[in-house]
Amino acid sequence: MRLKDRIALVIGGARGIGAGIAERFVEEGASIVLADREASAGAAMAARLGGHFVSVDVAKKADVEGAVGAALQRHGRLDILVQNAGIFPWTLIENIEPEEWDSVLAVNLKGTYLAARAALAPMKARNYGRMIFTSSITGPRVTSPGHGHYSASKAGINGFIKAAALEFAGYGITVNGVEPGNILTEGVKAGRSAAFIKSMEDMIPLGRLGSPRDVANAVLFLASDDASYITGTTIVVDGGQTLPEGADFRLNPS
């Protein structure tokens, strides 16, 4: 049990990657508080995992503080913070209105800063903490049309991870992130043909899309004692997708 008796808050845990993280944490002995904007899905997931649910809009300071407060009230401390909530509308830059830009940055980037700030005081008080943020390969490494705001928000998270790592290091808190590639979540599966999914797989050296559990395992590592000397960095979980210049690596005769 690699997270025995640890208290974790997972924001954006109702489904997909966040739910995978919460589930993996529970398997390894942690108690979780699960927070999400989607109350019914979030409450159901929390109930399934034996955790507590809090409804939050991660872009709102009071909501995020309330989620941290709920963890403290129930468990008396907070050891691990995961901020995974994110939105990814598809819009070309020429059509992104300021309101849409602001909403993406508010959830993905401002939400990350608000979560870090809210969790800081209780972690600082105990001189221990693990913060793990879900970034993406989209932004920090690569991008595609329609992801202007999303890319900016995720690249922003990587910069924030370094800054927070530096400022919190003296309090025994490490700050890291994961950069998932194409993960086969319900959202990705919906509306895509098998042929299109196959074309996505062909671009990935490991030959498949990722699963929420693949990402959860990397987050678990960063939350565990094995990662004590790691701070201010990210782990790319993409099956090698961002390595080759193009999909022609499969022409390799080996």
Partner 1 sequence: MTREGRLHNRVSLVTGAARGIGLAAARALAQEGARVMMCDVDADVLQIAADELLKDGLRVQAARADVANRDSMVRAIEATVAAWGQLDVLVSNAAIGDDTPFESLSPERWHKVMSVNLDSVLYGAQAAMPYLRRSASASIINVASIQGLRGQPNSMAYATAKAAVVNLTRCMAVDFGPLGIRVNAVAPGYIDTRMALMHGDVHEHQTDWFQDVFIKHGRLPLRRPGKADDVAGPILFLASDDSRYVTGHVLVVDGGLTCTY
Write down the least CB distance from residue 77 to partner 1, Å: 21
Site mask for partner 1 (CB under 8 A), range 128-167, x = bound = ---------------------------------xx--xx-
Active site residue 128: no
3-state DSSP call for residue 117? Answer: helix
240 binds partner 1 (CB under 8 A): yes
Buried b / exposed e across 43-65, counting CB within 10 Å, b at 16+?
bebbeebebbbbebbbbeeebbb
Of 170, 193, 194, 195, the residue at the interface with partner 1 (CB under 8 A) is: 170
- Least separation in angstroms between residue 164's CB and partner 1 is 10
Residues 6 or more apart whose Cβ sits within 8 Å of residue 149: 89, 91, 96, 100, 101, 104, 105
Counting contacts by CB under 8 A, is residue 97 touching partner 1? no
When asked if residue 223 is in the footprint of partner 1 (CB under 8 A), the reply is no
Question: Is there binding between residue 34 and partner 1 (CB under 8 A)?
Answer: no
User: What Cα–Cα distance (Å) separates residue 24 from each residue in 21, 43, 141, 197, 223?
Assistant: 5, 17, 27, 26, 11
Closer by beta carbon to partner 1, 62 or else 166 = 166
Residue 227 binding partner 1, by CB under 8 A: yes
Instruction: Please identify which of the residues 128, 150, 171, 229 carries the catalytic annotation.
Output: 150
Kind plus residue range of the DSSP H or E element containing 55: strand 52-55
Q: How far is the CB of 234 from partner 1 (least distance, A)?
A: 9
**Closest residue by Cα to residue 11 from 120, 133, 161:** 133
Is 84 a residue that touches partner 1 (CB under 8 A)?
no
Q: Does 217 bind partner 1 (CB under 8 A)?
A: yes
